[in-house]
Amino acid sequence: MYALSGTTHILGIIGNPVRHSLSPAMQNAALAECGLDYIYVPFAVPPEYLGAAVSGLRALGVTGFNVTIPHKTAIMSYLSHLDESAEAAGAVNTVLVQDGLMTGYNTDGFGLISSLADDLGFVAGNGTIVIIGAGGAARGAVAALCRVGAERIILTNRTLSKAIELAEDMRARYPKTGIAAYHQDQINENLLDSASLLVNTTSIGMNGERIDFVDLAKLPKGAKVYDMVYSPLHTPLLKEAASIGIEAVNGLGMLAAQGEMAFSIWTGRMPPKGLMKRVLQRVCNLTTA
Ligand code: ATR
């Protein structure tokens, strides 16, 4: 690590909890690799201290920070400006501080698009993308997919009203993409018939659970699966896809790519390609060993 001095720039992550965050490991590794005089620190911030923490970070002159659960939406009211990525996603995961002004970005969408291309060779365009879930992660994913030109998106959720609400909002923002909403139990009826990609945006799988309402065998030949879950690395959805010959990846590439984009917002440079993902893989293998 770079020797700390009076000129060291401070970066960090605020969340609650942040103990399990993988961002300090991958960001500090990339900063060190690039020889940059920066350090990235985790800050556990309870919700009642969010405003004080944001003022404090500004007063202390930090260069920027990541924002994670549960502050991604609440932080928006404390910022001077929102980038379109954050405005569309309705959430901020990266803040840049310049001359005391704070700009909120959302790099998760970039992370997904980038990981889809790099890890699955998938580029959104003609075809149908089926999304499982309609929460914050789904919103970010849909906004990003619409922005890069997805032709048709089918939203499915356990709570139908939330899928309908998200579809209406996204349709108004991105009229060029056809967006429909269904209950998750309708997935196997015929929603997968023309899908080129299935994306899990829910946390199902983190505790070893199967997504038991989806029959992957109904996907057409060549369709791919993206699971935003990355812990365990071999998620139940990935195992199931592999067992019937469907190409599928976990969300580790998305985590790395959102971090690469945040790094570039703060430092003006992209970290060496693949470095953050390698760090994540190493850390995840250690913790699951
Ligand atoms: P995030 O920001 O990670 O997306 P969220 O906004 O709380 O978190 O959304 C979680 C999503 O996962 C929701 O779509 C949720 O479905 P509901 O809207 O019905 O709550 C979905 N989800 C979580 N656990 C689930 C489960 N066991 N079965 C089906 N859907 C689940």
User: pTM here?
Assistant: 0.95
| DSSP designation for 158 | S
Taking alpha carbons only, the member of 156, 230, 215, 223 closest to residue 194 is 223
Q: Encoding tokens for residue 17?
A: 């909890």
Ligand 1 site: residues with CB under 6 angstroms? Answer: 133-138, 157-159, 162, 201-204
pLDDT by residue for the chain (289 residues), tens only, comes to 568 999 999 999 999 999 999 999 999 999 999 999 999 999 999 999 999 999 999 999 999 999 999 999 999 999 999 999 999 999 999 999 999 999 999 999 999 999 999 999 999 998 999 999 999 999 999 999 999 999 999 999 999 999 999 999 999 999 999 999 999 999 999 999 999 999 999 999 999 999 999 999 999 999 999 999 999 999 999 999 999 999 999 999 999 999 999 999 999 999 999 999 999 999 988 776 5
Torsion of CA 267, 270, 275, 281, to 10 degrees: 80
Q: How far is the CA of 6 from the centre of ligand 1 (A)?
A: 44
Q: Mark whether 72 is an active-site residue.
A: yes
Which protein residue has the closest C-alpha to ligand 1 atom 31?
A: 202
* Mutation test residue for ligand 1: of 158, 206, 254, the one with most atoms within 8 Å of CB: 158
> Which strand ranges, in their side-by-side order, compose the sheet holding 248-249?
178-183, 152-157, 128-132, 195-200, 224-227, 248-249
Q: Which listed residue (72, 162, 224, 239) is catalytic? A: 72
Integer Cα distance of 202 and 146 in angstroms: 19
Q: How far is the CA of 134 from the centre of ligand 1 (A)?
A: 7
Torsion of CA 45, 266, 137, 226, to 10 degrees: -130
> What element of type H or E holds 164?
helix 160-173
